[in-house]
Amino acid sequence: MADRESAFQVFFDEHHADLSRLAYLITGDANAADDIAADSLLEIWRHWERVTAADNPLAYARGVAANLSRNWIRRQRRERLGLLNMKLLLEDYRNPDVSLVMDVRAALRRLPLRRRECVVLRYAFDVPEREVAEILGISVGTVKSQTARGAAQLAALLVPAVPALLGCAGEG
């Protein structure tokens, strides 16, 4: 039992921050990311034998974190839709503050979930396409197409913000 606990502690120490950052970049919420990382590690502890038997334990852990992040986003959407249906947020929904300067996190949140996951895993974590496919349970071809589309969409979302960020809006 002590060996199991020691091995898990090493895994925890090496990967907790990585899992939290992954969850943050997928969800865009720092508090949720910490909770998701903790929940991921709890699931990993519960299934430690399965994790250590996996070809790539870190890929397994990232898969758990990505799935929990996806579930968190779904819960948030359901809650927001429920509030919108009650018309509590209707005014804010119809009058968004378009003057906010977009940053990468805001642009990431605008990507569809699957694209966001692919872009984050490929570019923020430098995970190989095959491993991203394994983590997300999709084909390598889907990873390639979603990553390319996500990167293009992210670039299109960020390009309009660049002149404003540099203070040269309206020049030229």
Nearest to 113 by CA among 78, 161, 71, 163: 71
172 inside domain = no
Residues contacting 106, CB < 8 A, separation 6+: 28, 100
Is 160 found in the same domain as 86? Answer: no
Q: Which of 96, 127, 144 is the last residue of a domain?
A: 96
Place of tokens 């999709």: 138
| Domain identity same for 85 and 142 | no
In this predicted structure, the answer to whether residue 108 has a pLDDT above a threshold of 70 is yes
Q: Output the pLDDT for position 75.
A: 82
Confidence of residue 105 (pLDDT cuts 50, 70, 90): confident
Mean pLDDT is highest, among 78-87, 109-118, 123-132, for 109-118
In this prediction the pTM is 0.61
Q: Is the pLDDT at 167 greater than 70, yes or no?
A: no
Give how many domains the chain has, as a whole number: 2
Do residues 111 and 150 make contact, with C-beta atoms less than 8 angstroms apart? yes
- pLDDT, residue 103, reads 64
Q: Is residue 171 part of a domain?
A: no
